A and B are shown apart, each in its own frame.
Chain A
Amino acid sequence: MPGKDLESEIRHGHHGGNVMTVAQPCIEPAAHREPERHLWCISDLTVSYGEVIALSSVSLNIKENSVTAVIGPSGCGKSSLLCCLNRLTDFIPGCCVSGRILMHSKDILGGQIDDTRLRKQVGLIFQKPNPFPLSIRRNFELPLREHGIRDRQEIEHIMQSTLEATGLWKEVKDRLNKPAHQLSGGQQQRLCIARALSLRPDALLMDEPCSALDPISSGQVEELVLSLRERYTIVIVTHNLSQARRLGTDVALFWLRDGKGTLVESGPASQVFEAPRDDLTKLYLRGAIA
């Protein structure tokens, strides 16, 4: 289960929030000598689905306004990590989360931030583009209205500016009332990114956003991510090492050890790729193991 993408993890039906939180002191690891500010400070995070432990005591700090590429083989808990960061784990039946995640020094697992507000601050982009089967305009109206923006002109303005930021405006400005599903896969994914940006989030979580796209669309999404990385904190799960190299300012490698997802190594991309400390990282990057 932990190896599958978010959608298959979150099965239909039961939506009980089974998140158990065990408060533990947040130990800022060696990283705190760096001047960068951290958006998330994850300590001792463990995620399990019944008997299966998807992530086992992960401690990781995620820098603000950077792209953290999360890499590793399937089933090592990468998607579970993303789910924890916006508490979508609440929707996974039987999912148990322990540890502590501080965001802006507030414990998100302990409920110090309201979960709908948290999800507004932390956008999530799924593997498969999932615009609502409504008009392009309605795709923006629905979430914006939910967050209290009802003025038509303001909605229009936000829609245009985010569509411009994602390079979609020129392509869709004449078809805003047409179904979003008539767009190509790449356009749909950029629409989803624009939709998430319209809520003015602090961070974007991306779960293999390019894996369902053709190379050209995938390139466009990558360019978009690069253009966003100055302003947003982005965590991107990817299976594509060269994509991680192109996009990541920081890299975290996860691995499956004894059936548990663990963090093997994390750090600035240059260090992890050029001078990996862990032997496993060296082998993985060389392509010797997978």
Chain B
Amino acid sequence: MSTLTSAANPSRGLRWDAWAIVLWIGAGLIMAAFLWVLLDLLGRGLGQISWSFITEAPENAGRAGGIGPILVSTLLILMVCLAIAVPLAVGVAVFLSELLPHRSRLRRIVQISLDALAAVPSVVFGLFGNAFFCIQLGLGFSILSGGLTLACMVLPLLIRTTESSIRAVPQRYRLAATALGMTRSRVILRLVVPLAVPGIVVGTLLALGRAMAETVALVFTSGYVDRMPGSLLDSGRSLSIHVFDLAMNVPGGDANAYGAGVVLIFALLVINGAVLCLAKTWKARSGMAITAAT
């Protein structure tokens, strides 16, 4: 395009080129910032990574030893969070997008509430989780409380992305299915939701990322304990809390903080890659076009 316009109108072509440079610089700056953080982290933390660091329990408040129990706790918290949040989000999203009339007032109210909820700072979620799950329901500082609090926190995001990916399934497929004598519930269950899966996966990924990086809300709910959890009702320290704790509260914990940071980043990258792989095999198996819903 730029060559075409510059041939017809040199001054306009020049402006395009100037814009292109600005855009390239912008993109480059973002890349550079990301690489800086990543390289800094890797440079300082990679040396800490070893099999024993991954599997062993922390010693001397985390200055020595590894992050084994912390990884287990993090995993359990995330599992609780997603096990609750994903089904709930899909249900609410189907209700909002398929069952409620398009201009329904209830839909507007729910959406506004969700947007408001998404803007609530995580510390408020932490306090709510502490008051409701830990104290009111008597779950105490536990992995369950932490997971449930995180579920509340990511729910608005998850519902929004799921709803929009369900909405993105073109109406003509619903009509085609209806015209083939499929009932409403089957159209939703067998066609619309499966077609929205790539979008739901992307939403889940975003939620997972947000949950994994969450620190404050967990301080109030899942607690600080760095022992290996025996059950979901035990307190457990998440990776992000561990990084925070080592960096801020434990003099001499920097090295292991960087090590844990590297593991956190690595876990996020692995999750991303795994989901991409899954989506690819799933697409090959079902023949579902991943672009159909995103």
List chain A positions with a Cβ less than 8 A from chain B: 6-7, 10-16, 86, 88, 91, 93, 116-120, 123-124, 126, 128, 130-138, 142-143, 146-147, 177-181, 192, 195-196, 199
Which of these, B182, B183, B287, B292, contacts A142 with CB under 8 Å? B182
Residues of B in contact with A, size category: 20 to 34
With A14-B101, A14-B102, A16-B101 already in contact, the answer to whether A146 and B181 are too (CB < 8 A) is: yes
List chain B positions with a Cβ less than 8 A from chain A: 100-103, 167, 171-173, 175-184, 186, 190-191, 195, 286-289, 292
* 21 contacts across the A-B interface (CB closer than 8 A): A7-B172, A7-B175, A13-B100, A14-B101, A93-B101, A116-B183, A119-B178, A126-B172, A126-B175, A131-B176, A132-B177, A132-B191, A133-B289, A134-B287, A135-B286, A136-B287, A138-B287, A142-B191, A146-B186, A192-B176, A199-B181
Determine how close the nearest CB of chain A comes to the CB of B73; give it in whole angstroms.
40
With A142-B182, A146-B181, A195-B180 already in contact, the answer to whether A133 and B102 are too (CB < 8 A) is: no
Measured between alpha carbons, how far is A195 from B287 in the docked complex, in Å?
17
Which of these, B102, B172, B184, contacts A11 with CB under 8 Å? B102
Contacts of B172 in A (CB 8 A): 7, 126, 128, 130
With A14-B102, A138-B286, A142-B191 already in contact, the answer to whether A7 and B183 are too (CB < 8 A) is: no
Q: Are B179 and A86 in contact (CB under 8 A)?
A: yes
Measured between alpha carbons, how far is A10 from B178 in the docked complex, in Å?
12
Q: Are A196 and B180 in contact (CB under 8 A)?
A: yes
Q: Are B177 and A143 in contact (CB under 8 A)?
A: yes
Q: Are A199 and B180 in contact (CB under 8 A)?
A: yes
Contacts of A91 in B (CB 8 A): 175, 178
With A13-B102, A15-B184, A117-B181 already in contact, the answer to whether A146 and B190 are too (CB < 8 A) is: yes
Q: Are B180 and A179 in contact (CB under 8 A)?
A: no
Contacts of B171 in A (CB 8 A): 7, 10-12
Q: Are A6 and B191 in contact (CB under 8 A)?
A: no
Q: A126-B179, A133-B195, A179-B287 are in contact. List 16 more A-B contacts (CB 8 A).
A: A7-B175, A12-B102, A12-B171, A13-B100, A120-B181, A123-B180, A128-B172, A132-B177, A133-B289, A134-B286, A135-B286, A142-B177, A142-B182, A143-B180, A192-B176, A199-B181
Measured between alpha carbons, how far is A192 from B288 in the docked complex, in Å?
17
Measured between alpha carbons, how far is A201 from B238 in the docked complex, in Å?
59
Q: Are B179 and A88 in contact (CB under 8 A)?
A: yes
Contacts of B289 in A (CB 8 A): 133, 179, 181
Which of B102, B103, B184, B195 has the largest count of A CB atoms less than 10 A from its CB? B102
Residue of B nearest to A198 (CB): B180
Measured between alpha carbons, how far is A181 from B287 in the docked complex, in Å?
10
Which of these, A124, A136, A146, A181, contacts B179 with CB under 8 Å? A124
Tell me the interface secondary structure of chain B in the complex: helix
Which of A93, A146, A177, A180 has the largest count of B CB atoms less than 10 A from its CB? A146
Measured between alpha carbons, how far is A117 from B183 in the docked complex, in Å?
10
Determine how close the nearest CB of chain A comes to the CB of B110; give it in whole angstroms.
15
Determine how close the nearest CB of chain B comes to the CB of A189; give it in whole angstroms.
12
Q: Are A88 and B182 in contact (CB under 8 A)?
A: no
Measured between alpha carbons, how far is A118 from B292 in the docked complex, in Å?
29
Contacts of A199 in B (CB 8 A): 180-181
Determine how close the nearest CB of chain B comes to the CB of A19; give it in whole angstroms.
15
Q: Are B175 and A178 in contact (CB under 8 A)?
A: no
Q: Are B181 and A116 in contact (CB under 8 A)?
A: yes
Residue of A nearest to B173 (CB): A132
